[in-house]
Amino acid sequence: MADQTPNLVGEGGRLFAEPTASPDETSFQVDNTSEAYYQSPYYTKHQGDLQPVPAPRADPPRLDLGDVLGRDLVDSITAAQRISFHAVGDTGAARNDAIQHAATSIAHEAGVADAMARDVAAGGEDAPAFFFHLGDVVYDFGEAQYYYDQFYEPFRNYDRPIFAIPGNHDGVVFGPDPDHPEIPTLTAFLRNFCAENPGPSPDAGTLMRSAMTQPGVYFTLDAPFLSIIGLYTNVLEGPGVISSEGGVYPIGDDQLTFLTAELRRLKPERERGERAVILACHHPPTSVDAEHGGTLGLSNDIDRAARDADLWPDAVLSGHAHLYQRFTRSTADREIPYVVSGSGGYTAKAPLSTVTPPAVAGEFTLVGPPTVAFGYLTVTVDIGKRTLTIIFHPSDPNVAGDAVVVDLATSRLGWVGS
Protein backbone atom coordinates (compact mmCIF):
# COMPACT_ATOMS: atom_id res chain seq x y z
CA MET A 1 0.00 0.00 0.00
CA ALA A 2 1.04 3.57 -0.60
CA ASP A 3 2.22 5.77 2.27
CA GLN A 4 -0.67 6.93 4.42
CA THR A 5 -1.38 10.30 5.96
CA PRO A 6 -1.83 10.34 9.76
CA ASN A 7 -5.55 11.03 9.47
CA LEU A 8 -7.35 9.06 6.80
CA VAL A 9 -10.60 10.33 5.34
CA GLY A 10 -12.62 7.46 3.94
CA GLU A 11 -15.38 7.32 1.37
CA GLY A 12 -18.13 9.87 1.99
CA GLY A 13 -16.02 11.82 4.47
CA ARG A 14 -15.74 8.99 7.00
CA LEU A 15 -13.32 9.63 9.84
CA PHE A 16 -11.47 6.98 11.82
CA ALA A 17 -8.75 8.37 14.11
CA GLU A 18 -8.27 11.46 16.24
CA PRO A 19 -6.18 14.28 14.74
CA THR A 20 -3.83 14.24 17.75
CA ALA A 21 -2.66 11.21 19.69
CA SER A 22 -3.46 11.19 23.40
CA PRO A 23 -2.55 9.08 26.45
CA ASP A 24 -4.59 6.00 27.31
CA GLU A 25 -7.45 6.23 29.78
CA THR A 26 -6.63 5.12 33.30
CA SER A 27 -10.23 5.04 34.56
CA PHE A 28 -13.68 4.78 33.04
CA GLN A 29 -15.77 7.88 32.45
CA VAL A 30 -18.82 5.73 33.19
CA ASP A 31 -18.23 3.07 35.82
CA ASN A 32 -19.16 -0.41 34.64
CA THR A 33 -21.66 -1.84 37.10
CA SER A 34 -23.63 -4.09 34.77
CA GLU A 35 -22.63 -7.36 36.39
CA ALA A 36 -25.55 -6.79 38.77
CA TYR A 37 -27.94 -7.32 35.85
CA TYR A 38 -27.11 -11.02 35.80
CA GLN A 39 -29.54 -11.17 38.75
CA SER A 40 -32.32 -9.30 36.92
CA PRO A 41 -35.67 -11.09 36.50
CA TYR A 42 -35.45 -11.13 32.68
CA TYR A 43 -31.93 -12.53 32.51
CA THR A 44 -32.59 -15.07 35.25
CA LYS A 45 -35.59 -16.41 33.36
CA HIS A 46 -34.23 -16.23 29.79
CA GLN A 47 -30.48 -16.80 30.06
CA GLY A 48 -30.89 -20.11 28.22
CA ASP A 49 -32.88 -18.57 25.36
CA LEU A 50 -31.71 -17.23 22.02
CA GLN A 51 -32.51 -13.65 21.06
CA PRO A 52 -33.99 -12.68 17.67
CA VAL A 53 -31.55 -11.97 14.83
CA PRO A 54 -32.21 -8.54 13.27
CA ALA A 55 -32.97 -8.75 9.56
CA PRO A 56 -30.25 -7.25 7.34
CA ARG A 57 -30.87 -3.88 5.73
CA ALA A 58 -29.84 -5.26 2.32
CA ASP A 59 -30.48 -8.57 0.59
CA PRO A 60 -27.96 -10.08 0.29
CA PRO A 61 -26.05 -8.29 3.04
CA ARG A 62 -22.70 -7.37 1.48
CA LEU A 63 -20.32 -4.47 1.93
CA ASP A 64 -17.46 -3.48 -0.38
CA LEU A 65 -14.29 -2.26 1.33
CA GLY A 66 -13.91 0.51 -1.26
CA ASP A 67 -17.21 2.04 -0.18
CA VAL A 68 -15.72 2.58 3.29
CA LEU A 69 -11.95 2.84 2.99
CA GLY A 70 -11.95 4.89 -0.20
CA ARG A 71 -11.11 3.96 -3.77
CA ASP A 72 -7.58 5.38 -3.81
CA LEU A 73 -6.39 3.07 -1.06
CA VAL A 74 -8.23 0.11 -2.54
CA ASP A 75 -6.54 0.81 -5.87
CA SER A 76 -3.17 0.80 -4.07
CA ILE A 77 -3.98 -2.55 -2.47
CA THR A 78 -5.00 -3.97 -5.83
CA ALA A 79 -1.78 -2.78 -7.44
CA ALA A 80 0.31 -4.35 -4.66
CA GLN A 81 -1.57 -7.68 -5.01
CA ARG A 82 -1.57 -7.92 -1.24
CA ILE A 83 -3.98 -7.06 1.58
CA SER A 84 -3.62 -7.31 5.35
CA PHE A 85 -6.12 -6.82 8.15
CA HIS A 86 -6.32 -7.17 11.92
CA ALA A 87 -8.67 -9.52 13.77
CA VAL A 88 -9.36 -10.26 17.42
CA GLY A 89 -12.37 -10.59 19.70
CA ASP A 90 -13.35 -9.87 23.28
CA THR A 91 -11.73 -6.45 23.50
CA GLY A 92 -14.22 -4.86 25.87
CA ALA A 93 -12.59 -4.16 29.22
CA ALA A 94 -14.23 -3.80 32.62
CA ARG A 95 -12.73 -2.27 35.73
CA ASN A 96 -11.14 -4.63 38.22
CA ASP A 97 -13.34 -3.49 41.09
CA ALA A 98 -16.53 -3.96 39.05
CA ILE A 99 -16.11 -7.63 38.13
CA GLN A 100 -14.93 -10.91 39.56
CA HIS A 101 -12.10 -11.42 37.06
CA ALA A 102 -9.15 -9.61 38.61
CA ALA A 103 -7.15 -9.94 35.38
CA THR A 104 -9.43 -7.61 33.43
CA SER A 105 -8.59 -3.92 33.15
CA ILE A 106 -8.47 -0.97 30.79
CA ALA A 107 -4.70 -1.36 30.45
CA HIS A 108 -4.96 -4.80 28.84
CA GLU A 109 -7.33 -3.63 26.12
CA ALA A 110 -5.27 -0.49 25.60
CA GLY A 111 -2.12 -2.56 25.13
CA VAL A 112 -3.73 -4.52 22.29
CA ALA A 113 -5.39 -1.49 20.70
CA ASP A 114 -2.22 0.61 20.86
CA ALA A 115 -0.14 -2.12 19.22
CA MET A 116 -2.66 -2.42 16.40
CA ALA A 117 -2.66 1.37 15.93
CA ARG A 118 1.13 1.33 15.71
CA ASP A 119 0.92 -1.29 12.94
CA VAL A 120 -1.29 1.03 10.94
CA ALA A 121 0.83 4.12 11.60
CA ALA A 122 3.95 2.28 10.40
CA GLY A 123 2.51 2.46 6.88
CA GLY A 124 3.93 0.75 3.85
CA GLU A 125 2.56 -2.25 1.99
CA ASP A 126 2.14 -4.24 5.20
CA ALA A 127 -0.12 -1.70 6.90
CA PRO A 128 -3.44 -3.41 7.72
CA ALA A 129 -6.37 -2.02 5.76
CA PHE A 130 -8.98 -2.59 8.48
CA PHE A 131 -9.83 -4.35 11.74
CA PHE A 132 -12.44 -7.12 11.71
CA HIS A 133 -13.71 -7.48 15.28
CA LEU A 134 -14.70 -11.03 16.27
CA GLY A 135 -17.34 -10.02 18.81
CA ASP A 136 -17.84 -8.93 22.43
CA VAL A 137 -17.13 -5.29 21.75
CA VAL A 138 -18.77 -4.20 25.03
CA TYR A 139 -19.33 -6.03 28.33
CA ASP A 140 -21.49 -7.12 30.00
CA PHE A 141 -24.80 -6.49 28.17
CA GLY A 142 -23.69 -4.43 25.17
CA GLU A 143 -24.90 -1.20 26.78
CA ALA A 144 -24.55 2.05 24.87
CA GLN A 145 -23.12 3.93 27.86
CA TYR A 146 -20.02 1.74 27.82
CA TYR A 147 -19.14 2.17 24.12
CA TYR A 148 -16.97 5.22 24.78
CA ASP A 149 -14.78 3.59 27.43
CA GLN A 150 -14.67 0.08 25.99
CA PHE A 151 -14.52 0.80 22.25
CA TYR A 152 -14.18 4.35 20.97
CA GLU A 153 -11.54 5.58 23.42
CA PRO A 154 -9.21 2.54 23.25
CA PHE A 155 -9.28 2.60 19.41
CA ARG A 156 -9.18 6.41 19.09
CA ASN A 157 -5.80 6.24 17.30
CA TYR A 158 -6.69 3.32 15.02
CA ASP A 159 -6.75 5.08 11.65
CA ARG A 160 -8.63 2.47 9.68
CA PRO A 161 -12.22 1.14 9.44
CA ILE A 162 -13.44 -1.28 12.11
CA PHE A 163 -16.02 -3.89 11.10
CA ALA A 164 -17.58 -6.29 13.59
CA ILE A 165 -19.81 -9.25 14.20
CA PRO A 166 -21.62 -9.26 17.55
CA GLY A 167 -20.56 -11.49 20.38
CA ASN A 168 -22.92 -12.95 22.96
CA HIS A 169 -22.28 -10.01 25.31
CA ASP A 170 -23.19 -7.54 22.57
CA GLY A 171 -26.64 -9.10 22.21
CA VAL A 172 -27.57 -10.43 25.64
CA VAL A 173 -30.23 -8.42 27.49
CA PHE A 174 -31.63 -7.86 30.99
CA GLY A 175 -34.55 -6.15 32.70
CA PRO A 176 -36.79 -5.92 35.74
CA ASP A 177 -39.72 -7.39 33.79
CA PRO A 178 -39.26 -11.19 33.50
CA ASP A 179 -40.93 -11.29 30.06
CA HIS A 180 -39.68 -8.13 28.31
CA PRO A 181 -36.06 -6.93 28.09
CA GLU A 182 -35.36 -3.39 29.20
CA ILE A 183 -33.55 -2.66 25.92
CA PRO A 184 -34.02 -4.80 22.78
CA THR A 185 -31.14 -7.05 21.82
CA LEU A 186 -28.24 -5.51 19.86
CA THR A 187 -29.63 -1.96 20.09
CA ALA A 188 -26.27 -0.27 20.64
CA PHE A 189 -24.40 -2.61 18.29
CA LEU A 190 -26.79 -1.78 15.45
CA ARG A 191 -26.40 1.96 16.06
CA ASN A 192 -22.59 1.78 16.07
CA PHE A 193 -21.89 -0.84 13.40
CA CYS A 194 -25.00 -1.10 11.22
CA ALA A 195 -25.92 2.57 10.87
CA GLU A 196 -27.66 3.70 7.69
CA ASN A 197 -25.27 6.66 7.35
CA PRO A 198 -21.63 7.09 8.49
CA GLY A 199 -22.29 10.03 10.75
CA PRO A 200 -20.91 10.45 14.27
CA SER A 201 -22.26 8.04 16.85
CA PRO A 202 -23.84 9.53 19.99
CA ASP A 203 -21.96 6.82 21.90
CA ALA A 204 -18.53 8.13 20.79
CA GLY A 205 -18.68 11.30 22.85
CA THR A 206 -16.48 13.91 21.18
CA LEU A 207 -14.31 11.35 19.38
CA MET A 208 -14.07 11.38 15.59
CA ARG A 209 -14.71 7.81 14.45
CA SER A 210 -17.73 7.54 12.17
CA ALA A 211 -20.35 4.88 12.82
CA MET A 212 -19.90 1.82 10.61
CA THR A 213 -22.52 1.07 7.94
CA GLN A 214 -22.60 -2.71 7.74
CA PRO A 215 -25.79 -4.03 6.15
CA GLY A 216 -26.47 -6.34 9.08
CA VAL A 217 -25.12 -8.28 12.03
CA TYR A 218 -24.21 -11.01 9.54
CA PHE A 219 -22.72 -9.96 6.21
CA THR A 220 -19.91 -10.43 3.71
CA LEU A 221 -17.08 -7.93 3.47
CA ASP A 222 -15.66 -8.01 -0.06
CA ALA A 223 -12.15 -6.59 -0.51
CA PRO A 224 -9.41 -7.03 -3.09
CA PHE A 225 -8.32 -10.70 -3.09
CA LEU A 226 -10.39 -11.44 0.01
CA SER A 227 -13.95 -12.02 1.23
CA ILE A 228 -14.85 -12.37 4.92
CA ILE A 229 -18.22 -13.95 5.69
CA GLY A 230 -19.22 -12.82 9.18
CA LEU A 231 -21.92 -14.69 11.12
CA TYR A 232 -23.80 -13.85 14.32
CA THR A 233 -23.77 -16.82 16.70
CA ASN A 234 -26.28 -15.35 19.20
CA VAL A 235 -26.25 -14.77 22.96
CA LEU A 236 -25.69 -18.03 24.78
CA GLU A 237 -22.46 -18.45 26.70
CA GLY A 238 -22.40 -21.71 24.81
CA PRO A 239 -23.22 -23.05 22.28
CA GLY A 240 -22.98 -20.72 19.28
CA VAL A 241 -26.03 -20.97 17.03
CA ILE A 242 -26.65 -19.76 13.45
CA SER A 243 -29.68 -21.92 12.51
CA SER A 244 -32.58 -23.86 13.95
CA GLU A 245 -30.42 -26.99 13.68
CA GLY A 246 -33.38 -28.98 12.43
CA GLY A 247 -35.90 -27.49 14.86
CA VAL A 248 -33.77 -27.59 18.01
CA TYR A 249 -33.68 -23.78 18.27
CA PRO A 250 -36.54 -21.30 17.67
CA ILE A 251 -34.78 -19.20 15.02
CA GLY A 252 -34.80 -19.31 11.25
CA ASP A 253 -32.19 -20.77 8.92
CA ASP A 254 -31.49 -17.46 7.15
CA GLN A 255 -27.83 -17.37 8.14
CA LEU A 256 -27.23 -20.94 7.03
CA THR A 257 -28.88 -20.16 3.68
CA PHE A 258 -26.80 -16.97 3.42
CA LEU A 259 -23.56 -18.80 4.19
CA THR A 260 -24.26 -21.45 1.56
CA ALA A 261 -25.17 -18.86 -1.06
CA GLU A 262 -22.08 -16.75 -0.37
CA LEU A 263 -19.73 -19.73 -0.59
CA ARG A 264 -21.39 -20.70 -3.86
CA ARG A 265 -21.02 -17.13 -5.17
CA LEU A 266 -17.35 -16.95 -4.27
CA LYS A 267 -16.41 -20.38 -5.62
CA PRO A 268 -15.48 -19.31 -9.20
CA GLU A 269 -13.07 -16.59 -8.04
CA ARG A 270 -11.59 -18.87 -5.39
CA GLU A 271 -11.03 -21.65 -7.90
CA ARG A 272 -9.35 -19.20 -10.32
CA GLY A 273 -6.94 -18.24 -7.56
CA GLU A 274 -8.21 -14.67 -7.41
CA ARG A 275 -9.61 -14.61 -3.87
CA ALA A 276 -9.27 -16.13 -0.40
CA VAL A 277 -12.43 -16.86 1.60
CA ILE A 278 -12.48 -16.49 5.39
CA LEU A 279 -15.32 -17.32 7.78
CA ALA A 280 -15.67 -15.32 11.01
CA CYS A 281 -17.96 -16.23 13.93
CA HIS A 282 -17.79 -15.24 17.59
CA HIS A 283 -18.31 -18.67 19.17
CA PRO A 284 -15.57 -21.11 18.17
CA PRO A 285 -16.58 -24.29 16.35
CA THR A 286 -13.90 -25.99 18.44
CA SER A 287 -12.07 -24.96 21.61
CA VAL A 288 -10.33 -26.50 24.62
CA ASP A 289 -11.50 -23.72 26.95
CA ALA A 290 -13.61 -25.28 29.70
CA GLU A 291 -15.85 -22.20 29.99
CA HIS A 292 -16.12 -21.33 26.29
CA GLY A 293 -15.88 -24.69 24.56
CA GLY A 294 -16.47 -25.71 20.98
CA THR A 295 -19.87 -26.04 19.37
CA LEU A 296 -20.65 -29.20 17.44
CA GLY A 297 -23.91 -27.86 15.96
CA LEU A 298 -22.17 -24.75 14.64
CA SER A 299 -19.35 -26.85 13.23
CA ASN A 300 -21.86 -29.12 11.51
CA ASP A 301 -23.72 -26.13 10.03
CA ILE A 302 -20.47 -24.78 8.58
CA ASP A 303 -19.72 -28.20 7.11
CA ARG A 304 -23.19 -28.50 5.65
CA ALA A 305 -22.94 -25.12 3.92
CA ALA A 306 -19.47 -25.91 2.58
CA ARG A 307 -20.56 -29.28 1.21
CA ASP A 308 -23.69 -27.83 -0.40
CA ALA A 309 -21.68 -25.01 -2.00
CA ASP A 310 -18.72 -27.26 -2.80
CA LEU A 311 -16.38 -24.65 -1.36
CA TRP A 312 -14.62 -24.76 2.01
CA PRO A 313 -13.35 -21.58 3.68
CA ASP A 314 -9.59 -21.10 3.66
CA ALA A 315 -9.65 -20.22 7.37
CA VAL A 316 -12.15 -19.91 10.22
CA LEU A 317 -11.63 -17.15 12.81
CA SER A 318 -13.46 -16.83 16.12
CA GLY A 319 -13.21 -15.37 19.61
CA HIS A 320 -15.29 -16.00 22.77
CA ALA A 321 -12.62 -18.10 24.50
CA HIS A 322 -10.31 -15.57 26.13
CA LEU A 323 -7.04 -16.93 24.81
CA TYR A 324 -5.34 -17.96 21.57
CA GLN A 325 -5.72 -21.43 20.07
CA ARG A 326 -5.07 -22.86 16.61
CA PHE A 327 -6.50 -26.06 15.22
CA THR A 328 -5.88 -27.76 11.89
CA ARG A 329 -8.88 -29.27 10.15
CA SER A 330 -7.51 -32.05 7.96
CA THR A 331 -9.39 -33.85 5.21
CA ALA A 332 -8.25 -35.88 2.25
CA ASP A 333 -7.70 -32.86 0.01
CA ARG A 334 -7.13 -29.84 2.29
CA GLU A 335 -6.00 -28.39 5.61
CA ILE A 336 -7.90 -25.48 7.17
CA PRO A 337 -6.72 -23.41 10.15
CA TYR A 338 -9.42 -22.82 12.75
CA VAL A 339 -8.06 -19.95 14.84
CA VAL A 340 -9.52 -18.77 18.15
CA SER A 341 -8.39 -15.29 19.22
CA GLY A 342 -10.56 -13.94 22.01
CA SER A 343 -7.46 -12.32 23.47
CA GLY A 344 -8.30 -8.66 22.89
CA GLY A 345 -8.41 -7.42 26.48
CA TYR A 346 -11.28 -8.73 28.57
CA THR A 347 -9.44 -11.43 30.48
CA ALA A 348 -6.68 -13.90 29.77
CA LYS A 349 -7.51 -16.29 32.60
CA ALA A 350 -9.40 -19.08 30.90
CA PRO A 351 -9.38 -22.56 32.46
CA LEU A 352 -8.42 -25.24 29.96
CA SER A 353 -10.42 -28.42 29.66
CA THR A 354 -8.83 -31.85 29.81
CA VAL A 355 -11.75 -33.19 27.78
CA THR A 356 -11.45 -33.20 24.00
CA PRO A 357 -14.29 -30.98 22.71
CA PRO A 358 -16.78 -32.68 20.39
CA ALA A 359 -15.87 -30.78 17.24
CA VAL A 360 -12.22 -31.84 17.57
CA ALA A 361 -12.95 -35.53 17.10
CA GLY A 362 -11.28 -37.03 14.05
CA GLU A 363 -10.39 -34.20 11.69
CA PHE A 364 -9.40 -31.41 14.13
CA THR A 365 -5.96 -31.25 15.75
CA LEU A 366 -4.86 -28.68 18.31
CA VAL A 367 -1.54 -27.22 17.16
CA GLY A 368 0.59 -26.51 20.21
CA PRO A 369 -0.74 -25.54 23.63
CA PRO A 370 -3.19 -22.64 23.87
CA THR A 371 -1.64 -19.27 24.64
CA VAL A 372 -3.35 -17.67 27.62
CA ALA A 373 -2.26 -14.10 26.94
CA PHE A 374 -3.47 -10.88 25.37
CA GLY A 375 -2.78 -10.27 21.70
CA TYR A 376 -4.24 -9.98 18.20
CA LEU A 377 -4.04 -11.39 14.68
CA THR A 378 -2.65 -9.99 11.46
CA VAL A 379 -4.06 -11.77 8.40
CA THR A 380 -2.45 -11.25 5.00
CA VAL A 381 -3.47 -12.43 1.55
CA ASP A 382 -0.66 -12.24 -1.01
CA ILE A 383 -2.42 -13.15 -4.23
CA GLY A 384 0.81 -13.07 -6.24
CA LYS A 385 2.34 -15.74 -4.00
CA ARG A 386 -1.05 -17.46 -3.56
CA THR A 387 -0.73 -17.44 0.23
CA LEU A 388 -2.89 -16.60 3.25
CA THR A 389 -0.83 -15.90 6.37
CA ILE A 390 -2.22 -15.66 9.92
CA ILE A 391 0.10 -14.31 12.64
CA PHE A 392 -0.71 -14.05 16.36
CA HIS A 393 1.05 -11.13 18.08
CA PRO A 394 1.08 -11.35 21.90
CA SER A 395 1.12 -8.04 23.76
CA ASP A 396 3.72 -9.42 26.17
CA PRO A 397 7.12 -9.64 24.43
CA ASN A 398 8.00 -12.57 26.69
CA VAL A 399 5.17 -14.67 25.24
CA ALA A 400 5.82 -16.61 22.03
CA GLY A 401 3.70 -15.76 19.01
CA ASP A 402 2.39 -18.09 16.34
CA ALA A 403 2.00 -18.12 12.57
CA VAL A 404 0.56 -20.33 9.86
CA VAL A 405 0.51 -20.05 6.08
CA VAL A 406 -2.22 -21.45 3.83
CA ASP A 407 -1.03 -22.32 0.33
CA LEU A 408 -4.05 -21.20 -1.67
CA ALA A 409 -2.98 -23.31 -4.64
CA THR A 410 -2.86 -26.60 -2.72
CA SER A 411 -4.95 -25.84 0.42
CA ARG A 412 -2.10 -27.16 2.55
CA LEU A 413 -0.51 -25.48 5.56
CA GLY A 414 3.06 -24.32 6.08
CA TRP A 415 4.84 -21.77 8.22
CA VAL A 416 6.29 -18.31 7.82
CA GLY A 417 9.41 -18.52 5.68
CA SER A 418 8.50 -21.86 4.11
How far, rounded to the nearest angstrom, does the alpha carbon of residue 188 sit from its chain's CA centroid? 17
pLDDT at 390: 98
Write the pLDDT tens digit of every residue in 78-109: 999 999 999 999 998 876 444 444 445 788 99
Mean of pLDDT values over 320-341: 93
Residue 418 confidence (pLDDT): 43
In which band, very low, low, confident or very high, does the pLDDT at 291 lie, cut at 50, 70 and 90? Answer: confident
- Concatenated DSSP letters of 86-139: EEE-------GGGSS-TT--HHHHHHHHHHHHHHHHH-STTS-S-EEE-S--ST
Residue 63 near residue 198 (C-beta atoms within 8 A): no
What is the DSSP annotation of 351-406?
PBPSSPPGGGTTTEEE-S--B-S-EEEEEEEETTTTEEEEEEEESSTTS--EEEEE
Q: What are phi and psi of 14, to 5 degrees?
A: -65, 140
Looking at residue 95, what is its pLDDT?
A: 62
pLDDT of residue 32: 84
Domains of the chain: 11-414 (3.60.21.10)
> What's the longest Cα–Cα distance across the chain?
58
pLDDT at residue 40, rounded to an integer:
98
Please state, rounded to an integer, the average pLDDT across all residues of the chain: 91
Q: What is the pTM of this model?
A: 0.95
pLDDT at 294: 87
The predicted model gives 287-298 an average pLDDT of 88
Question: What is the per-residue pLDDT for 327?
Answer: 94
- Reported as a pLDDT band with limits 50, 70 and 90, residue 416 is low
The whole-number average pLDDT for the span 279-306 is 92
Q: How far is CA 24 from CA 113, 127, 180, 256, 347, in A?
A: 10, 22, 38, 41, 18
pLDDT surpassing 90 at residue 167 = yes
